[in-house]
Amino acid sequence: MCKLRCLVLLSLFAVSSQLFADQIVLKNGDRLTGTITKSDGDTLLIKTDLAGDVTVQWPAVQGITSTQPLHVATKDGKTVVGAVTTTDDTLAVSTPANGTVNVDRANVTALRSDAEQAAYDKSLRPALWEGWTGGATVGFALTGGNSETKSLAIAFTGDRKTTHDEISMYTNTVYNTNDAAGAVPHVTANATQGGARYSRNLTKQVFGYGAADFQTDALQTLNLRSVLGGGLGYHLINTSKTTLDLLAGLNYTRENYVALSRNFVAASVGEELMRKLGATTVLTEKMYVFPDLSNTGQYRATFNFGTVTKISKWLGWQNAFGDIYVTNPPADPTTGFRPKLNDLQLTTGLNFSFTH
Q: What is the mean pLDDT of the chain?
A: 85
pLDDT (mean) for 106-128? 85
79-87 and 90-95 as β-strands: parallel, antiparallel, unpaired? antiparallel
| Residue 7 binned pLDDT confidence (cut-offs 50, 70, 90) | very low
Query: Across the strands, what pairs with 8?
Result: none
How many whole angstroms separate alpha carbon 51 and alpha carbon 34?
10
The CA-atom distances, in angstroms, between 183 and each of 175, 187, 188, 232 are 16, 9, 10, 48
The torsion angle over the Cα atoms of residues 10, 14, 20 and 22, rounded to 10 degrees, is 160
Q: Which residue has the higher pLDDT, 227 or 342?
A: 227
pLDDT (mean) for 249-277? 91
| Residue 336 binned pLDDT confidence (cut-offs 50, 70, 90) | low
Q: Which residues contact 158 (CB under 8 A, 6 or more apart)?
A: 132, 133, 134, 167, 168, 169, 170
Which domains are seen in the chain, by residue range? 15-124 (no CATH), 132-355 (2.40.160.40)
pTM for the full predicted model: 0.67
| Residue 9 binned pLDDT confidence (cut-offs 50, 70, 90) | very low
pLDDT (mean) for 124-146? 78
Interval 315-326: pLDDT, tens: 888 888 888 898
Whether residue 164 is predicted with pLDDT greater than 80 in this model: the reply is: yes
Q: Which residues contact 77 (CB under 8 A, 6 or more apart)?
A: none
Q: How far from chain centre, in Å, is Cα 105?
A: 31
| Residue 266 binned pLDDT confidence (cut-offs 50, 70, 90) | very high
What is the predicted pLDDT for the residue at 6?
45
What is the predicted pLDDT for the residue at 285?
93
What are the backbone angles phi and psi of residue 121, rounded to the nearest 5°? -60, -40
How many whole angstroms separate alpha carbon 219 and alpha carbon 230?
29
Q: What is the CA radius of gyration of the chain?
A: 28
